A and B are shown apart, each in its own frame.
Chain A
């Protein structure tokens, strides 16, 4: 990997101090691949040229300005779980935001201001002490609150809290060229309590529907909504690794597994719960998730799963997971439980009490990474947003495609997938998961991914999220949205340096040219250094 010319490196060094910057290949190696299993979202990865750890917004700004001056690509890194931080361009600088880990909670106004390296486990731990919480994503509580709010923001609690785009308040944002922008109230009074004006409200850009994956600069501070929860304190932990949990007082917190004989009944049940506007959690989970949660190793998982699957003879039930929380009173729990039972009776599904320790996994998901257990790798696909009916349509159609790939994909007996409802079910997300061998089936998985997207386009479903590399496929079917994104990219990031080719991969050509430009700009510096070295 090419080294950054000394002059530029020293300029960067002068911003953060020598302790917080390196270009040692060994250290850079740890930033050279994405997470999310092997070879999935980090294809074409290279080792970055340099890693820098800014300690404050001013330093981030200065780094981004230097990158723009010399046309060096940079990638913001918060917790770096998903593969989109993996560099694919030469000379890339990783801006690891780990030193920026401050958290402030405003109890009275129910919001938290977070820097990039605050995760959900930390936030919900501290918020619970004040009787507050927020949705924690199912990828796990280790995800950065800021990065997740900028990107997805989906987990059990969105039934009440809604999608993350609605939970963002004021924002501090270093634009791709280094200019500092405050959104919402922060732009006027340096208080983060409000997302809309006074001042600009560009949340549609800083996050939009599914974020810019670091393609539009670096967000250094963000305020996120918190919600009241009828509990205050630090819950007592039960168990020992790998099976730990905590419960919350049963007068106020109840958990249920609703066993539905068919997908249609599950959907009908969820629709009725939605109409009644009860519950704190209501989502359909793939049946195999229960095995993922309980298994202590993959042999056990496969063993139990194959045994039970045989017993079920293809009649895999649809599981809807429900929680009822008495936000206002214990009476609310009683009332909602009665409503839930009435609905279940009417629809013809069975409500079973679930473990009270589900509270732990709900507020601070710790077992999520077990999604990788069945085969070493897994992929969530479809990512459709619309309604319950739409979810059924896309999942059933997707299932036909998934079926073609079983084997090699694990047969999880699942005709649908994860159905997650936001805002009491008025807005619904559908995800189709497949589990496969991390060594052998990657190409097959990538193929299935494209087929599933094409299927969406064919059945006129709405693939609300793309991972960035298939915009060319979906764009032309959807008003050429990728062209608009290209324009936004060009306007905000004229040099195309903020995590290229992310944000909009169709700017590929341009970024290659820019690398060439950059090579030329630096050539003189490199020559100069060579001369100096020779002389000395």
Chain B
């Protein structure tokens, strides 16, 4: 993977700092006006997207060597993509792809990823999950009738986190699908989707996992995949085609999209009130970064015009409304919004390998988000990603708030238990 492919993007950063702030139009206070966790915490400009563009330029032009500091700068980033979307408000550049390529380059140079990443990658290679848990445990919670179901219409891709750490999310998702009458199957040979591995730049290992999962799903003959993890969701919808270089042929959905549809179709009906004032945290991978991948092979011509014209993913069509609509439809729920929402959301702090390698940074970022949530007067924070939940929950508890995955509230409102 060559940084050279992105020379235009790197050289045409105009240093406007759009990558550092929320969209000014949407800014609601000075207190919550910043959007980049890395730059907000580490202050030096190099910890912003603009600074990382400069590092990329320096490396390309051999003004810089690959050093420990390059590693520090490149990996102290949650890869939340806020910078990318804010940059694209005005410019036609691909900053997030530059950040991804920097990581890939570091791995190729034999420097990256960081020790904690290497450890979980090794575990994933051995046990197919980043926690190093026995593979059998992955599906031990799944009732037999859902395992490798022959008559399935939909594959539920559970993901490592829901399988091993947030079982409540996995169980709730399965129950919701079943209640709505979906013929759902969980595959016993599901492996890590590759997200935590690709995110830190290990393209080779990520590819192996992806190829395995893809052929596994294709072999079932089912082309609908649903997941309740925003990370897995973005991986299947965006990164699989991008990395593998072709359409996957899969119809990928997040469970919230299904729930929204089921409610409209009357396949799910709420019977219980959930009396709670909640605020919704947009996962980066379900919100601003979830637009389908668009293939483009071409070049920049005069005036930087793309030939053939490139279609840009600007975060416009992220999954913003469905979770809100679903929440509002739950009897007893009052939804109050935080200041930084949708494409302007502040990341939970877990992504990009940060939670594994830089725990203090992940916690700091989560604390910042919970402070924002607290100001709304909500009793609980709701999200649609077990990873966000995992990182936000301890800080929410410290602040006297509850933390839910949306699926958990749906189960309550349906009067069910998992």
Contact = CB atoms under 8 A, between A and B. Distances in A.
Interface of A: 20, 22, 24-27, 29-38, 47, 51, 53, 79-81, 96, 98-99, 103, 118-122, 125-126, 140-142, 234, 237, 240-246, 296-299, 302, 360-361, 364-370, 372-376, 410, 436-440
Interface string B355-378: 000000000000000000000000
B389 interface: no
Contacts of B17: 79-81, 142
A29 B67 CA distance: 13
Given A81-B15, A366-B23, A30 B90 contact: no
Given A30-B55, A47-B63, A81-B17, 9 more contacts: A26-B67, A30-B51, A81-B16, A103-B30, A125-B27, A140-B16, A297-B312, A375-B303, A439-B304
In order of increasing CB-CB distance, the 4 nearest A-B pairs are A35-B15, A30-B51, A369-B90, A121-B24
B144 interface: no
A438 B304 contact: yes
A410 to B, nearest CB: 7
A37 B29 CA distance: 30
B304 A375 contact: yes
A367 B46 contact: no
B70 interface: yes
A80 B46 contact: no
B11 interface: yes
B30 to A, nearest CB: 4
Contacts of B43: 20, 53, 96, 98-99
Q: Which of A47, A81, A241, A361 has the most CB of B within 10 A?
A: A241
Contacts of B320: 240
Contact of A242 (B24, B55, B73, B90): B90
Contacts of B288: 241
Interface residues of B, number: 59
B35 to A, nearest CB: 11
Contact of B27 (A364, A367, A375): A364
Nearest to B45: A30
Q: Which of A80, A99, A299, A439 has the most CB of B within 10 A?
A: A299
B314 A296 contact: yes
Contact of A142 (B16, B28, B58, B73): B16
B90 A368 contact: yes
A243 B343 CA distance: 12
Interface of B: 8, 11-12, 14-18, 20-21, 23-30, 33, 43-46, 48, 50-51, 54-55, 57-58, 63-64, 67, 69-70, 73, 85-86, 88-92, 288, 302-306, 309-310, 312, 314-316, 320, 342-344
Contacts of A103: 30
B24 A140 contact: yes
Contacts of B344: 241
Contacts of A375: 303-304
13 contacts: A26-B64, A29-B58, A29-B63, A32-B54, A80-B15, A96-B43, A120-B24, A140-B24, A364-B27, A366-B89, A369-B90, A375-B303, A437-B304
Nearest to A40: B14
B71 to A, nearest CB: 9
Contacts of A32: 54, 58
Given A29-B58, A81-B16, A364 B312 contact: no
Q: Which of A27, A81, A103, A370 has the most CB of B within 10 A?
A: A27
A241 B316 contact: yes
Nearest to B66: A26
A197 to B, nearest CB: 32
A493 to B, nearest CB: 25
A364 B24 contact: yes
B342 A240 contact: yes
Given A122-B30, A125-B28, A410-B303, A372 B63 contact: no
B63 A121 contact: no
Contacts of A29: 46, 51, 54-55, 57-58, 63-64
A126 B306 CA distance: 40
A141 B24 contact: yes
B16 A26 contact: no
Q: Which of B16, B88, B310, B315 has the most CB of A within 10 A?
A: B16
B303 A241 contact: no
Contacts of A122: 27, 30, 33
A241 B304 CA distance: 22
A103 B29 CA distance: 12
Nearest to B46: A30
Given A242-B88, A244-B23, A244-B25, A22 B16 contact: no
B15 A33 contact: yes
Nearest to B320: A240
B358 to A, nearest CB: 16
Nearest to A436: B303
A96 B48 CA distance: 14
